[in-house]
């Protein structure tokens, strides 16, 4: 899985990374069989995290429209116990949020001890959408890369494991998914006219993502670029990376002294 991690200081070129890559698994059927074990292990590790009430896990999902953020949440985070898990979606800031710095609303949502929080989009919109649509001056958003790095380092220093995933699809795959969304009555409600306007800015978004991935992948909050043209492979990779990271924490259930307890 180290293949998909962005090394600190590495310059990312998305055009050089194949979103169709599935080389770690033979085929979809094999991945499906292995993914059952992945989901089971994720559930076990999350339970130990929750019981230990010490470490915290923040999962950040970013990607172009239709890249599969909702799907990854459903299939990967869906195996976590809801009691210790939250999913947060950041939409257009409210007037109150705009009266504060751009990280104010984000800090309020980070995980507490023993908790898993998944960000469906995140504070990175403030160097992506804000940049592409020129919502603030260039001199403002350029400062945010280092501000984000310092913010995430503070979270890490206080016990938060941060895992960031860019779900990488190509423009042709997005077209297919948008067409499928339009033709499926159970999914067409997701379609918005703005999706097509954003699609026209594909090149601008790719450049913005390349800068964000290059400038904010750190030892304490690494980015992973996940090939996501194949949904089953996306879930396999994301789930496997989370398992590796949680197992490195050497989580254990808290010791219980129940020798004095008598149940009558």
Q: Which domains does the chain have, with CATH numbers?
A: 2-247 (3.40.50.300)
Checking if the pLDDT of 54 tops 90, the result is: yes
pLDDT in tens, 6-34: 999 999 999 999 999 999 998 999 999 99
What mean pLDDT comes out for the span 151-172?
98
What pLDDT, on a 0 to 100 scale, did the predictor assign at position 113?
Answer: 97
What pLDDT, on a 0 to 100 scale, did the predictor assign at position 1?
Answer: 75
pLDDT confidence tier of residue 191, bands split at 50, 70 and 90: confident
Between CA 214 and CA 183 the distance in angstroms is 37
Checking if the pLDDT of 104 tops 80, the result is: yes
CB count in 10 Å sphere of residue 94: 9
What pLDDT, on a 0 to 100 scale, did the predictor assign at position 139?
Answer: 97
Q: Average pLDDT, whole number, for the chain? A: 95
Between CA 121 and CA 28 the distance in angstroms is 27
Checking if the pLDDT of 186 tops 90, the result is: no
Nearest residue to 39 via CA among 90, 78, 84: 78
Checking if the pLDDT of 56 tops 90, the result is: yes
Query: Is the full-model pTM beyond 0.85?
Result: yes
pLDDT in tens, 115-133: 999 999 999 999 999 999 9
Name residue, tokens 């304490």.
220
What pLDDT, on a 0 to 100 scale, did the predictor assign at position 193?
Answer: 81
pLDDT confidence tier of residue 106, bands split at 50, 70 and 90: very high
Between CA 141 and CA 135 the distance in angstroms is 9
What pLDDT, on a 0 to 100 scale, did the predictor assign at position 2?
Answer: 85
Alpha helices in 142-230 (DSSP H): 144-157, 171-183, 193-199, 202-215
């Amino acid at each position: 899985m180290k293949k998909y991690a962005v090394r600190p200081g590495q310059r990312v070129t998305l055009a050089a990374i194949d979103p169709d890559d599935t080389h770690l698994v033979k085929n979809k059927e094999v991945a499906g069989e292995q993914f059952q074990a992945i989901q089971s292990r994720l559930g076990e590790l999350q339970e130990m995290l929750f019981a230990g009430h010490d470490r915290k896990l923040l999962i950040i999902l970013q990607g172009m429209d239709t890249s599969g953020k909702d799907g990854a949440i459903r299939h990967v985070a869906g195996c976590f116990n809801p009691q210790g898990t939250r999913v947060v979606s950041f939409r257009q800031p409210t007037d109150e949020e705009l009266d504060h710095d751009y990280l104010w609303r984000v800090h309020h949502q980070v995980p507490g001890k023993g908790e898993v929080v998944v960000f469906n989009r995140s504070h990175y919109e403030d160097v992506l959408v804000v940049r592409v649509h020129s919502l603030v001056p260039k001199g403002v958003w350029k400062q945010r890369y280092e501000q984000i790095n310092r913010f995430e380092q503070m979270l890490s220093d206080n016990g938060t494991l941060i895992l960031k995933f860019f779900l990488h699809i190509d423009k042709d795959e997005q077209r297919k998914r948008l067409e499928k969304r339009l033709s499926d009555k159970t999914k067409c409600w997701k379609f918005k006219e703005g999706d097509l306007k954003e699609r026209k800015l594909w090149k601008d978004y790719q450049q913005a993502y390349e800068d964000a991935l290059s400038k904010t992948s750190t030892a304490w909050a690494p980015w992973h670029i996940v090939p996501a043209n194949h949904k089953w492979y996306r879930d396999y990779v994301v789930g496997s990376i989370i398992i590796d990271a949680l197992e490195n924490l050497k989580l254990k259930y808290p010791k219980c002294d129940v020798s004095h307890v008598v149940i009558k």
